[in-house]
């Protein structure tokens, strides 16, 4: 017993040391990135490790000079900010991208540009882009903590927060998310709040999830899978009616925000469709390995796998985290344009991993270890990508997803307990 206690104590001490060291690196990286994003002073060149895709700075253009944006970071946020400055010209920008510093047509809905126009656009670009990232991060951590409390796993909160900070600010993929001014944590929030809202029958979380999902429409395919599988878990007509209500909440939010700017929305939707159907697949897009038509049918396949998973665990949706994780990994590769700075999408599964891992047995512990191991490796593929190639990395995503889904069928799921 003494040796076991001593071993546990050593592991705890090592965990604290690693967390403190990683936390210090995360704080320094966050400070340097924020300073560079605000002033464009190249201070982020000193962060370690480097972002996965290097630094992409706003070029010298008449509209970027006017907004004090030259040499600033957050290049992807520019797709929202600069078109929002001329909201009346948004339709033309959806077709040509002439308002973006790099000529990229926006892939964000008109309502998102409107929100930016009446808020962040009141500030210069450096201030607006940094505030956008801080608000996004703050919202994520707020709801992240809330879900730990809802799931009654507060004892694991510290470890969950530490892991999240390390993935965001001490890995190349996480740093690229911040450096590009991406929207990945809104997607993670949409995923997390929908899954927890459905598990615990909390319609308000489903409603908030729909708001976050609207920020980035690439979130919708996975959310559709989650909603469909949850609906299939209904045990009787009354329960099916209640689950239908959740789906209608989502649909109502999406329709309301879209119809508010319906003429511009049509041009936005056409642009999304053309990109997914005709643009050459890049990054970690699965369409590089399989025909686009096959890839776009992936949500249907996942719903089928989800139904089989439900039959395995007695139609208990709460026992599906391994399936949900596997599906989330696959859906990272679903868009035609997909990059590793979207890996923070997977942080939504951290509370669910701890929740499911409360069950006894080696399977539950294995899911937790494999999940954190995969996220770490996927966040650091920059170190091996040139050696193994994009196809090998994509096969790694497929293999990881297959392992998690296989684990869903390998055991009986989470043990019954009062939650």
85 belongs to a structural domain: yes
268 belongs to a structural domain: no
Question: How far apart, in whole angstroms, are the C-alpha atoms of residue 350 and residue 144?
Answer: 9
Cis status, amide bond into 211, omega within 30 of 0: no
Q: Which residues contact 226 (CB under 8 A, 6 or more apart)?
A: 191, 194, 195, 198, 324, 327
Per-residue pLDDT, 4: 45
Query: Residues 186-211: what's their mean pLDDT?
Result: 97
SS3 80: helix
Banded model confidence at residue 283, pLDDT cuts 50, 70, 90: confident
| CB half-sphere exposure, 261, CA atoms < 13 A | 19
The token pair at 401 is: 């997803």
Query: Residues 357-381: what's their mean pLDDT?
Result: 85
* Segments forming the whole domain that contains residue 68: 2-130
Cis status, amide bond into 49, omega within 30 of 0: yes
The token pair at 358 is: 């409360």
194 belongs to a structural domain: no
SS3 338: strand
Average pLDDT score, the chain? 91
406 belongs to a structural domain: no
The token pair at 142 is: 């707020």
Q: Which residues contact 417 (CB under 8 A, 6 or more apart)?
A: 358
Q: What are the pLDDT digits (tens) for 193-205?
A: 999 999 999 999 9
Poorest-pLDDT segment among 68-77, 282-291, 303-312: 282-291
The token pair at 265 is: 């929305």
Residue 337 pairs in a beta bridge with 282
Banded model confidence at residue 275, pLDDT cuts 50, 70, 90: confident
38 belongs to a structural domain: yes
Nearest to 368 by CA among 384, 386, 355, 382: 355
Higher pLDDT, 29 or 417: 29
Q: Is 381 left (phi over 0), alpha (psi -120 to 50) or beta?
A: alpha
367 belongs to a structural domain: no
114 belongs to a structural domain: yes
Q: What are the pLDDT digits (tens) for 37-62?
A: 999 999 999 999 999 999 999 999 99
Number of domains present in the structure of the chain:
1
Per-residue pLDDT, 19: 78
The token pair at 6 is: 């001593």
Torsion angle (degrees, nearest 10) of CA 276, 121, 213, 209:
180
11 belongs to a structural domain: yes
């Amino acid at each position: 017993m003494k040796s076991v206690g001593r071993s546990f104590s050593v592991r705890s001490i090592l965990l604290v040391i690693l967390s403190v060291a990683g936390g210090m690196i995360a704080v320094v990286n966050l400070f340097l990135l924020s300073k560079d994003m605000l002033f464009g002073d190249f201070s982020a060149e000193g962060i370690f490790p480097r972002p996965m895709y290097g630094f992409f700075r706003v070029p010298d253009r008449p509209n970027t000079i006017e907004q004090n944006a030259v040499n600033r970071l957050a290049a992807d946020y520019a797709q929202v900010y600069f078109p929002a400055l001329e909201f009346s010209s948004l339709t033309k920008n959806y077709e040509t991208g002439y308002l973006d510093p790099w000529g990229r047509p926006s892939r964000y809905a008109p309502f998102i540009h409107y929100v930016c126009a009446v808020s962040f656009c009141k500030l210069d670009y450096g201030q607006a882009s940094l505030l956008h990232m801080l608000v996004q991060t703050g919202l994520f951590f707020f709801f992240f903590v809330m879900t730990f409390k809802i799931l009654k796993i507060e004892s694991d909160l510290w470890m969950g927060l530490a892991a999240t900070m390390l993935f965001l600010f001490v890995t190349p993929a996480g740093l690229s998310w911040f450096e590009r001014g991406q929207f990945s944590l809104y997607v993670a929030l949409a995923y997390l709040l929908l899954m927890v809202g459905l598990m615990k029958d909390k319609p308000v979380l489903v409603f908030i999830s729909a708001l976050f999902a609207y920020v980035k429409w690439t979130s919708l395919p996975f959310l559709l899978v989650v909603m469909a599988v949850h609906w299939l878990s209904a045990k009787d007509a009354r329960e099916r009616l209640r689950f239908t209500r959740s789906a209608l909440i989502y649909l109502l939010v999406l329709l309301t925000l879209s119809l508010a700017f319906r003429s511009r929305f049509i041009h936005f939707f056409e642009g999304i469709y053309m990109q997914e159907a005709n643009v050459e697949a890049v990054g970690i897009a699965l369409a590089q390995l399989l025909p686009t038509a096959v890839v776009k049918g992936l949500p249907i396949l996942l719903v089928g796998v989800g139904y089989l998973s439900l039959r395995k665990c007695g139609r208990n949706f709460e026992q599906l985290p391994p399936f949900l994780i596997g599906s989330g990994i696959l859906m990272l590769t679903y868009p035609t344009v997909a990059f590793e700075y979207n890996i923070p999408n997977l942080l939504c599964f951290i509370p669910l991993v701890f929740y499911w891992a409360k069950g006894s047995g080696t399977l539950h512990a294995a899911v937790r270890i494999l999940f954190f191991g995969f996220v770490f490796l996927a966040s650091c593929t920059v170190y091996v990508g040139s050696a193994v190639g994009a196809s090998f990395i994509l096969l790694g995503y497929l293999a990881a997803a297959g392992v998690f889904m296989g684990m869903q069928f390998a055991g009986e799921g989470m043990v019954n307990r009062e939650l």
